[in-house]
Amino acid sequence: MKRLFNTAEQLVERGIDKRVRIAVTGLSKAGKTAFITSFMNQLLHVTDNDPLPFFKPVKEGRLLATKVSSYDELHIPEFKYKQSIGYLVNDQPEWPPSTTGISQAQLDVRYRIKNEWIRKVQKKSHLTIDIIDYPGEWLLDLPLLRLSYKEWSSQCLELIKQNISTSTTAWQEESAQLVYQQALSDENIAEISNGYKAFIKTSFTNDHTYNLLQPGRFILPGELEGAPVLDFFPVTDSNILHSDWDSLAQDSLVKTLEKRYNYYKKKIVKPFFKEYFEKVDRQILLVDCLEVLNGGYQNYSNMQFTLIELLKSFHYGQSNWLKRMFNPSIDKLLIAATKADHVPPEQHRPLEGFLQAMLQEARNDIQYQGIELETMVISSVKTTEAVMAEHKGQKLMCVKGIELESGEEVINYPGKLSEELITRNDWQEHQYDFINFAVPENLTNGILPHIRMDKVLQFLIGDKFR
């Protein structure tokens, strides 16, 4: 009865627009943990947070207080906000570790009502904000929901041809010898599957970080480590992919792999999507454009393809009170290029232009569905300062901070960004040198320095404080 009451209460809150669920999406290393930490930090300091000039409820003095609250989904671990802040502000500051499992944060915000008619009856109200954190690798699995096993295998084969070097790996050699029409023991399937896992892990961590080589759980299995549900791999024989499988025996290798793939979709991917993304109201997609620019054209092409495929996995559309209660859809999407502090302020606009051009196709499709979409260049935690310095005989605006690898203070000019889409032929002319910066030692338990987090807050939740 208590669970039913809590569910009914959440439905009512969604219907009267007093609850909002935000999906913080992004691939591995895009900065989700830092973003959620900063997002919570800014709201938890609303009473003394002057650096939020574009967040209207704070500017108007209507936000009264925010607290971290408990939530009803007791099977989901709590997002470790205090631990994340601790990493940033301790004597030897460091970035919080990457996410390795699901966690959730819930904030309750008290505010003064702005609407003069409602204010005659009730002067104050509250907004509940739900935020889910999860490994970026698992996000790669969402496009599987639209793909059959044969379609997924064909996609993997095409990506392997495009992105992998001419040297053949042990897994590729072994898979080329397989007879897919015949049966294969579970032990042999598991052994070959382990080879595929090692293959995509190497691909993921080397030069081709953004290959859409799934499943994401093969890269970061979490609680599924060693489980038989992860023992499958794609068909790499193009002749088999273009043949009819209906006449093949049910115990044939290709049919066995197909069953396991479908089981993985049904039992792992679909429940993950349903529980954490089906009831999302607002979404922010974090993109590390700087890593893409450092990696060259192929990395850029991989990232573009991957993000466009991921955005197709979500349910976008205009919202109203009835839809919010029973069939919620994402009515606002913010696509944000992270690490704005790694480039001089004068290059923020070109960086945003690069982001817009890269995702132009997906942006057009989503905006056609009538939702609000915005792009932005942000920094969840500002680690550098802009300085004028000499670079190759010219006075240029650079950034100064502590280099992550060396621990030394450096002044860096990353290169001139282009606002336009860069073609393969043009890519060699653009040389970039973006470096990773460490957390500065002057951070405190108070407000985290940032770039445009106030605009992020205004876009994602500003309209909820009416």
What is Dmax (Cα atoms) for the chain?
77
Confidence of residue 324 (pLDDT cuts 50, 70, 90): very low
| Contact (CB, 8 A) for 103 and 77 | yes
pLDDT tens string 70-121: 877 777 889 999 999 999 999 899 999 988 888 899 999 999 998 888 877 8
Report how far apart, in Å, the C-alpha atoms of 209 and of each of 304, 339, 418 are.
Answer: 12, 18, 22
Report how far apart, in Å, the C-alpha atoms of 441 and of each of 329, 412, 430 are.
Answer: 41, 19, 33
Half-sphere exposure of 8 (CA within 13 A, CB side): 5
pTM above 0.85, yes or no: yes
- Please determine, for residue 62, whether its predicted confidence score (pLDDT) is greater than 60: yes
- Please determine, for residue 164, whether its predicted confidence score (pLDDT) is greater than 70: no
* 3-state SS class at 110: strand
Q: Which amino acid, one-letter code, is at 129?
A: I
> Please, what is the Cα angle at 373 between 367 and 378, to 5 degrees?
150
Residue spans per domain, the chain = 2-139+274-382+446-464, 145-272
| Contact (CB, 8 A) for 454 and 63 | no
As a CATH number, domain 2-139+274-382+446-464 is 3.40.50.300
CA 276/CA 274 separation, integer angstroms: 6
- Please determine, for residue 67, whether its predicted confidence score (pLDDT) is greater than 50: yes
| Contact (CB, 8 A) for 29 and 291 | yes
| Contact (CB, 8 A) for 365 and 333 | no
pLDDT tens string 337-358: 999 999 999 999 999 999 998 8
- Alpha helices by DSSP H, listed for 206-320, are 216-219, 238-241, 253-264, 270-276, 289-295, 297-311
Residues above pLDDT 70, as percent of the chain: 90
pLDDT tens string 391-421: 778 899 999 999 999 999 999 999 888 766 6
What's residue 210's pLDDT? 54
- Relative to beta strand 394-402, strand 385-391 is antiparallel
